[in-house]
Amino acid sequence: MRLDKYLKVSRIIKRRTVANEACSLGHVSINDKVAKPSADVKAGDIISVRFGAKLLKAEVLMVKESVRKEEADSMYRIISDTLNETGDD
């Protein structure tokens, strides 16, 4: 599944256009490599998303084309959700 679609379906990012833009600007990486919106996501991947000073790292547990809102958080496991304390942006 495409990275931008996964971010939307899993509700890590609410809208696909926002997910696509975040990927295009280099704010999203898969396994510590900056990823394009079309990058392939599979179970076991580690996704890092930078929202300003906040960094979210999550492990992909499963990939589904669609899930109910209540089940979206079962698609991933949050590894860390931290603020960037070094001031690097």
Query: What's 43's domain CATH number?
Result: 3.10.290.10
Q: Identify the domain containing residue 76 by its residue range.
A: 3-83
Give 65's Cβ-side CA count (13 Å radius): 0
Q: What is the pTM of this model?
A: 0.87
70 falls within a domain: yes
Phi then psi for 30, rounded to 5 degrees? -120, 125
Residue 23 has pLDDT above 70, yes or no: yes
Q: pLDDT above 70 covers what percent of the chain?
A: 93
Q: Model confidence at 83, in pLDDT bands (50, 70, 90)?
A: confident
49 falls within a domain: yes
Q: Model confidence at 34, in pLDDT bands (50, 70, 90)?
A: very high
